[in-house]
A and B are shown apart, each in its own frame.
Chain A
Amino acid sequence: MSKGEIVMGALAPHPPHLVYAENPPQNDATSEGGWEELRWGYERLRESLSDRDYDVIIVHTPHWATFIGTHFLGVDSFKSLSVDPIFPNLFRYNYDLNVDVELSRAIHDNAADSGLLVKMMENPDFRIDYGTITSCHLVNPKWDKPIVCISSNRSKFYFNSEVMQANMIKLGEATRKAVEASGKKALLLSSNSLSHRHFTVEPEVPEDMSKEHVTNHNQYLWDMKMINLMRDGKTKEMIDLMPDFTEQTVAETEAGCLTWLMSALGFPDYKATVHAYGTVIGTGNAIVGWDPRKAKI
């Protein structure tokens, strides 16, 4: 068996607004569009993947929050309806997805070996979180690849950002080793926004783009700081700044997804491709790809 590899890693945020704006047949709500910059960014990310063959999508999601360790989906398939608890008017999505349980368990076992507390989720009635569905839909709307879904352990709340990051670095290493041992080609998704202070009201027409902007200038400056570090290939510096960034912008990086991704990719020192930056109900969202082929040039 040949060695498996991570073919690409991506920051793939999950505002349900982006699915809503695309009007896919799976979503019951309909829109007149909106958030085009981000949706076109996802289009560019998909184009960048068009010449990459991969077997599985591994997604780390903030909206499956767990406090007793990190959990992994352990059932072959799920089919149900996902209704967003915050934006039910926008996202009522009928999903039908497959899980690569073998790889899921391999990551689980590797993580356990490295000292992390882990658990397989084996209840077939479990409902998949809307963050996972949104990120996976926007990257692969055909849903023709199985996924591995990893919960976000909220050690930041119980300890601090540094503990969270230390755990996510271990989890990233465990993920990479499992992928390599599996012989599979994997796409990794960090399903999170950057700055994450929302508006607390919604326009009468949710897709009214005249109302969309970043919540405050502070968030914008911090988002740009982080994105520029990605563009410059300074991901270790980005991780060092992460606790401050998270604190200052109530960033969704608190869930650990981006730290996990950077660790799995071996803290890239090559330039990331920023496909888009835009805001959704005040939060900062970047769509960014890391292509390991760039490391080989």
Chain B
Amino acid sequence: MRDDNVRKGILVPGLPHPLLCPEKNEGWQRVRNAYDEARKEIEETDAEILVVYSTFWPSILGHQIQAFPEPEWTYVDEEFHDLGSIDYKFRMDPEFAELAVDKCKERGLHARTVSYYGFPIDTGTIVALKLLNPDNRIPAIIVSSNMYANRAESIVLGKSIRDAIDSSGKKAAVVVVSALSNRLHTVEIDPKDDKIHSLKDHEWNSKFLEYLEKGRLEDVSQLSRQFHNEARVPKVVSFKPFWIMASIMGQNNLYDGNVLAYEPVWGTGSAVVTMTPAEDTAGDLEYDEDDPEFYKGDREVLDFYDQPEMGSLEEADGH
């Protein structure tokens, strides 16, 4: 294993079925078992902080990081409310959350902590923390997913989180909560009949999992735009989870990938994958996406009247 402050990266899906009713479908049970395997992998590291990035928590005002010390609630999913309620109590690391916000600001991002009793923690984070860290052995932070952020901003966010990890001196495990293909069955189904929504979704999921198994995390990151077009319902502007994960973990392909499960959960491509820093796996390949270090804000492409570098518009007579 390569010595890295990020001991492990973990991709998990966020729908509640593996937590609330795994017995209803063999695949859901396999995802649940994979969660247990991932939990053991985390426990075998010396990780001191869990960094959770959840695509189920959208933000608008920059990037929000959960800092309430012990959030506690009885939660009901807004879609799958008939599966039951989820009691939770988690342990956050407010000091680390503040540090992460500071590091975001140093790189030009708008960021803030949120620390309010009753803040609605999202389904994906709840499922992940309940199954990966059931006794709150490791404190966590939760990072929101800005609905407008595209690649540059996401890469810089990942680097900022990495700055916080390195600066703190802590060893971290990074948990990214996201489906691969995200197309749900939009009708009621018998759980035993669950399947990936389409063959095309399955083929793209398989391609991503093939790369991840080979440790090619940066390659997956570089392919995120294509994946978004091919296998995602475009509820948000882009597919960000692998940008974030790769950026936090060092933007390379030097990992041991372990695909613990890949199953449909209500039609979505739900995989549990762990990435462990390694000395030499797929190596550095050829990348063509940019590698920004700082975020310089919106480019105001619609507000062209305020762009002095454009110069005055030419008069009708050409002068």
Contact = CB atoms under 8 A, between A and B. Distances in A.
B60 A200 contact: yes
Interface in A70-116: 71, 81, 83, 85-89, 92
Contacts of B110: 200-201
A157 B302 contact: no
A89 B115 CA distance: 9
A85 B119 contact: yes
Contacts of B185: 68
Interface string B117-158: 111101000000000000000000000001010000000000
B149 to A, nearest CB: 8
A135 interface: no
Contacts of A67: 79, 184, 186
Contacts of B76: 123, 125-127
Interface in A181-218: 198-202, 216-218
A64 interface: yes
A121 interface: yes
B249 to A, nearest CB: 26
B119 A83 contact: yes
A125 B118 CA distance: 13
Interface in B41-93: 57-62, 74-76, 78-79, 81-82, 84-85
Interface residues of A, number: 38
Contacts, number: 96
Interface in A141-171: 151, 154-155, 157-158
B315 interface: no
Contacts of B119: 83, 85, 88
B183 interface: yes
A68 B194 CA distance: 14
- Among B57, B62, B81, B302, residue most surrounded by chain A Cβ atoms (within 10 Å): B81
A83 B187 CA distance: 30
A241 interface: no
Given A123-B84, A123-B85, A85 B188 contact: no
Interface of B: 57-62, 74-76, 78-79, 81-82, 84-85, 110, 114, 116-120, 122, 146, 148, 183-188, 233-235, 298, 302-303
Interface of A: 64-69, 71, 81, 83, 85-89, 92, 117, 119, 121-123, 125-127, 129, 151, 154-155, 157-158, 198-202, 216-218, 281
